[in-house]
Structure 1
Amino acid sequence: MIVLQLIGIGTGNPAHLTGEAIAALNAADLILVPRKENAPDLADLREAICAAVLTRPVPIIAFDMPVRAGEDYVQAVHAWHDAIAGAWRAAAATHLPRGGKVALLVWGDPSLYDSTLRIAARLPDVSVRMVPGITSVQALTAAHAIPLNPLAGAVTITTGRLLRSHGWPPEADTVVVMLDGGCAFETLDPVGITIWWGAYLGMPQQALDQGPLAEAGPRIAATRAALRARQGWIMDIYLLRKAPQ
């Protein structure tokens, strides 16, 4: 039987791994590493994390990450997830024909705006174990030394796509925005909003900025574009907070 271990690895810094995550990696029989054509550095980072924490030889197998395609977003995502699950199954069958523990390193925490658990659910004959990790939300607030929520206030976690299409979530004091392919904060009226932004959190190239959205927003957009052009990819997250009325 295959046991699939989904291991939260933080935001790319080996020091972000918990003791439980390190133990799970060392107990694995196989570690699968996805390779994306447009972001080969991400596979290299996963392999560097393994090299930093493994205390015994564990086979590390890279596989080509399927590419999402299609006009309809929901249908395209479902087809993409099916293809990824198929890639996991094929790799496990090839390298662990008698079963064993397969580890997948997941950025941040597998439970928060990550589809790894939904993909794993497509493999009903596989036992799934999840090891939580430091989320990008934690890494962002720690980097800026700020609390996540205002005093007695609510926090909404959303995506760039939803912020762009629906605007500021009703009743929210603080909004954390993940998976923003652009700069959805540019669609908001900036009056009274402060932004705290971070990219490549925990990595050597970490970049931070913060301030009133009207002033910091254009600066962040320019920095983000430059970093993406230089690295070929970017992972960023930001927190928006409205001033008390």
Structure 2
Amino acid sequence: MLRLRIGLIMQVIGYRTARSLHCSARTPRGATKTERTAFRKLKTEIKQLDDSRPISIFTSSHSISSNFTSPRSTRCSSPSTPSGILSPTGTGDSHLQWEERQGQWLRRRRLDGAINRVPMGFYQKVWKILQKCHGLSIAGYVLPSSTTSEMTEGEIKFAVHVESVLNHVPQPEYRQLLVEAIMVLMLVADMEIPSIGGIIHIDRIVHMANDLFQQDQRSNGANEYFLEKDPATGICNFFYDSAPSGSYGTMTYLSKAVVTYVQDFLPSSSCLMQ
């Protein structure tokens, strides 16, 4: 982590407070008068914070390595597998099990995105990706390949520059999906090929993965509740809440989307990704 955006962290605190009080993050009706007053105070403090001025906390990679697990190494199974699809109108133990699992990965991504957490060596690998394309487009902002001639891969200035582009994404959970997509793109960039394209639109890759996810969910009988999209990003809420690993995990769909996106630059014998 390089910088903290206090406003986003306060929002996450608000979400977690609402969850612990079993009430809405907007209108905590289930809370007591004291709790409602504290919650309103928290929301006021959030509004007074300026997200555009993050606090720098330059720290060694060793000190944070034990606090972060790469999404690829996470062992939790995806709640989006066909056997895990439960009706929101169901009753009994199955409904309680769904309620307990619901939101687990959405909260994880929201927290990681809010504190700007990325995998070890993430920025160095972004530098290598830029050497094989013309640039990365994230939320309408382009990180040009010329950056690699201006800064070295291990330079802190480069890492801060990459992070500043990612910070244009207001939704922390969507930002984290973009980070996951870049991680998959790293695997392609590591192949012995001279180029992987021109300007690579990371948002487009994420939306392609989301579309593939929804297609599979429909084919497995998922109802409209599970296919509901976040109006701000157009991403299926259930996709946000799916584990990275597993045959129905986000990394599986992101891998398919990346291969489809750059397939014209891949050798014919390397089109299969695990």
> Where on the TM-score scale, by shorter chain, does this alignment land: which range?
under 0.3
Q: TM-score, normalised by structure 1?
A: 0.25
Q: TM-score, normalised by structure 2?
A: 0.23
Structure richer in helix, relative to its length: 2
Structure richer in strand, relative to its length: 1
